[in-house]
């Protein structure tokens, strides 16, 4: 069974860096994995592609070393096991409300005696019935990591209890949804977001667990590392692509070229300059 790079690093107290991929071209997953990123954040909460497509993207990533951290949508506990069977090393669960919900995620992600995940074995994670049942269950429980997202003020009040749930490896602040639900959309430097990060960091520390959140810049990442964060996500393929196109337009606009942009918002673009 493929061993988790991220879980190994976390066990040594080392930081792990992931990047998020939105595009469904397997080459993008293959490239990121061959370049040695610790993990690829696969978002099945907000994107419309199928589990079959997700499995193909995970297969492409297996030529390199990167883990797949797959995020299902809130309440999609049945999908969690399928993502693991397709080859994900980690599960990210969004919008967790409390410790009871976090315990349900563990229940469907881990095999007995830790949880009640159903057994199959004929999939890439075992892989393909090539291990004994006992060895597979032991390895799956050891190598699979669980990331629980805290994204609401009400959930923040349960951060300590969520972090203390056996089987939860990482508590992860979702700053975008947290800012939207707090009435400060996109204000990632707002004191409320900073206080939320401090609360999550403290909860993880008290429970002997790890914590993380997206880093908007190397400087922001340094601050998070100093706060004890160990699971760091930065950027995404769609942002990198857009930034590249922006750079072309900026450079060539100085030469007299013009561009009929469909969106000419005078406000600050999402994550621009962060």
Q: Which residues pair with residue 43 across a beta bridge?
A: 71
Give yes or no for a cis peptide into 83 (omega within 30° of 0). Answer: no
Q: Is the pLDDT of residue 273 over 50?
A: no
Q: Is the pLDDT of residue 8 over 60?
A: yes
Q: Is the pLDDT of residue 28 over 90?
A: yes
Torsions phi, psi for 110 (to 5 deg): -110, 145
Counting runs of H as helices and runs of E as strands, what totals does the chain give?
A: 12, 8
190-209 pLDDT per residue, tens: 999 999 999 999 999 999 99
- Contacts (Cβ under 8 Å, ≥6 apart) of 44: 51, 54, 70, 71, 72, 73, 76, 79, 83
Instruction: Check residue 265 and give its pLDDT.
Output: 65
Q: Is the pLDDT of residue 120 over 50?
A: yes
135-150 pLDDT per residue, tens: 999 999 999 999 999 9
Instruction: Check residue 268 and give its pLDDT.
Output: 56
Going by C-alpha positions, the residue among 159, 48, 151 that lies closest to residue 93 is 151
Instruction: Check residue 271 and give its pLDDT.
Output: 64
Token pair for 48 = 């419309």
Instruction: Check residue 38 and give its pLDDT.
Output: 98
Q: Is the pLDDT of residue 223 over 70?
A: yes
**How many other C-beta atoms can be found within 10 angstroms of the C-beta atom of residue 17?**
16
Spatial distance between the Cα atoms of 257 and 250, rounded to a whole number of angstroms: 9
Higher pLDDT, 273 or 88: 88
Cβ(40)–Cβ(19) below 8 Å: yes
Spatial distance between the Cα atoms of 58 and 239, rounded to a whole number of angstroms: 21
Higher pLDDT, 179 or 272: 179
Going by C-alpha positions, the residue among 111, 114, 130 that lies closest to residue 122 is 130
Q: What is the pLDDT averaged over residues 171-192? A: 97
Return mean pLDDT, the chain. 96
Instruction: Check residue 89 and give its pLDDT.
Output: 98
Q: Which CATH class is domain 5-239?
A: alpha beta
Q: Of all helices (H) and strands (E), which one includes residue 201?
A: helix 191-207
14-25 pLDDT per residue, tens: 999 999 999 999
Q: What is the pLDDT averaged over residues 212-238? A: 98
Spatial distance between the Cα atoms of 198 and 227, rounded to a whole number of angstroms: 8
Instruction: Check residue 263 and give its pLDDT.
Output: 79
């Amino acid at each position: 069974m493929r061993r988790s790079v991220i879980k190994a690093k976390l066990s040594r107290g080392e930081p792990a860096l992931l990047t998020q991929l939105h595009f469904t071209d397997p080459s993008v997953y293959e490239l990121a994995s061959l370049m040695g990123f610790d993990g690829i954040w696969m978002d099945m909460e907000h994107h419309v592609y199928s589990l079959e497509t997700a499995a193909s993207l995970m297969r492409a990533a297996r030529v390199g070393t990167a883990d797949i951290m797959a995020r299902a949508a809130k309440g999609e506990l049945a999908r969690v096991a399928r993502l693991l069977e397709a080859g994900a090393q980690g599960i990210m669960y969004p919008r967790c409300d409390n410790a009871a919900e976090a315990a349900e995620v563990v229940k469907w992600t881990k095999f007995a005696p830790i949880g009640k995940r159903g057994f199959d074995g004929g999939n890439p994670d075992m892989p393909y019935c090539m291990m004994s049942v006992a060895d597979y269950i032991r390895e799956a429980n050891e190598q699979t990591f669980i990331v629980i997202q805290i994204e609401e003020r009400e959930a923040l009040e349960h951060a300590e209890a969520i972090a203390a749930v056996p089987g939860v490896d990482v508590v992860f602040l979702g700053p975008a949804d947290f800012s939207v639900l707090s009435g400060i959309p996109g204000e990632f430097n707002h004191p409320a977001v900073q206080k939320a990060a401090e609360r999550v960091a403290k909860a993880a520390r008290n429970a002997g667990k790890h914590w993380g959140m997206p880093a908007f810049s190397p400087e922001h990442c340094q601050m998070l590392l100093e706060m004890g964060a160990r699971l760091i996500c930065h950027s995404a393929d769609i942002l990198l692509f857009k930034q590249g196109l922006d750079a072309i337009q900026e450079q060539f606009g100085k030469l007299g070229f013009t561009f009929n942009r469909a969106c000419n918002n005078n406000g600050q673009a999402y994550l621009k300059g962060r």
